[in-house]
Amino acid sequence: MHELPMAKAINEGLRTAMVENNKVMVMGEDIAQLGGVFRVTEGLQEQFGPNRVVDTPLAESGIVGTAIGLAMRGYRPVCEIQFDGFVYPAFDQIVTQLAKQTARHEGTQSFPVVIRIPYGGHIGAVEHHQESPEAYFAHTAGLRVISPASPNDAFWMIQQAIASDDPVIFLEPKSRYWHKAPVDDATPALAMTQAAVVREGSDVTLVGHGAMVSMLLQAADVAESEGVSAEVVDLRSLSPIDYRTIEESVTKTQRLVIAQEAPSQASLGSEIAATMTERAFYLMEAPVLRVSGFNTPFPPARLESHYLPDVDRILDAVDRSMAY
Partner 1 sequence: MPYTDSTLRLLNQDGTLVQGDGLDQYHQAISHLTEADFREFYRVMTVVRRFDVEAGNLQRQGHMALWVPSIGQEAAQVGSAFASRPQDHIFPAYREHTVGYVRGLDLLDIIRMLRGVTNGGWDPKKTNNFHLYTLVLASQTLHATGYAMGIGYDGACSTGNPDKDEAVMVYFGDGASSEGDTNEAFIFAQSYQTPQVFFLQNNHWAISVPVRVQSRTPLFERAAGFGLPSVQIDGNDALMSYAATRLSLDAARAGQGPHFIEALTYRIGAHTTSDDPTKYRDEDELAFWQAHDPIDRFRAFLERQGVEGSFFDSVAEEADDYAADIRRRTLAIEDPPLEDIFRHVYTEDHALMSDEWEWLKEYTQSLDEGQ
Q: Which is nearer to partner 1, 88 or 294 (CB)?
A: 88
* Catalytic entry in 2, 105, 129, 209: 129
Binding to partner 1 by residue 109, rule CB under 8 A?
yes
State in angstroms the smallest separation of the CB of 102 from partner 1: 6
**Catalytic residue check, 2:** no
Instruction: Quickly count: other Cβ atoms within 10 Å of residue 49's Cβ.
Output: 12
Specify the 3-state DSSP secondary structure of 102.
helix
- Restricting to residues 250-289, which ones interact with partner 1 according to CB under 8 A? none
State in angstroms the smallest separation of the CB of 1 from partner 1: 29
Using CB under 8 A, which of the segments 5-13, 87-95, 117-125, 216-224 binds partner 1? 87-95
Do residues 29 and 56 make contact, with C-beta atoms less than 8 angstroms apart? yes
Binding to partner 1 by residue 108, rule CB under 8 A?
yes
Binding to partner 1 by residue 106, rule CB under 8 A?
yes
Binding to partner 1 by residue 97, rule CB under 8 A?
yes
- Restricting to residues 127-146, which ones interact with partner 1 according to CB under 8 A? 141-142, 144
Distance CA 67, CA 80 (A): 11
Question: Which residues have CB under 8 Å from 57's CB, separation 6+?
Answer: none
Residue 141: C-alpha distances to residues 97, 104, 280 (Å): 11, 12, 25
Question: Which residues have CB under 8 Å from 289's CB, separation 6+?
Answer: 256, 257, 258, 273, 317, 320, 321
Binding string, residues 26-65; x marks residues near partner 1 by CB under 8 A: -------------------------xx---xx-x-xx-xx
State in angstroms the smallest separation of the CB of 28 from partner 1: 13
Q: How many chain residues touch partner 1 (CB under 8 A)?
A: 47
State in angstroms the smallest separation of the CB of 260 from partner 1: 19
- Comparing CA positions, the residue from 51, 112, 60 lying closest to residue 82 is 60
Distance CA 303, CA 292 (A): 15
- Restricting to residues 184-203, which ones interact with partner 1 according to CB under 8 A? 193
Q: Which is nearer to partner 1, 58 or 126 (CB)?
A: 58
Q: Which is nearer to partner 1, 151 or 167 (CB)?
A: 167
Specify the 3-state DSSP secondary structure of 98.
helix
Judged by CB under 8 A, the residue of 11, 41, 82, 102 near partner 1 is 102
Specify the 3-state DSSP secondary structure of 144.
strand
Using CB under 8 A, which of the segments 70-78, 125-133, 175-183, 247-255 binds partner 1? 70-78
Strand (E) or helix (H) holding 259: strand 256-263
Please give the biggest Cα pair distance in the chain: 60
Residue 154: C-alpha distances to residues 157, 253, 272 (Å): 5, 28, 23
Contact set with partner 1 (CB under 8 A): 25, 51-52, 56-57, 59, 61-62, 64-75, 89, 92-93, 96-97, 100, 102-110, 141-142, 144, 164-166, 193, 239-243
- Give me the active site residues, please: 129
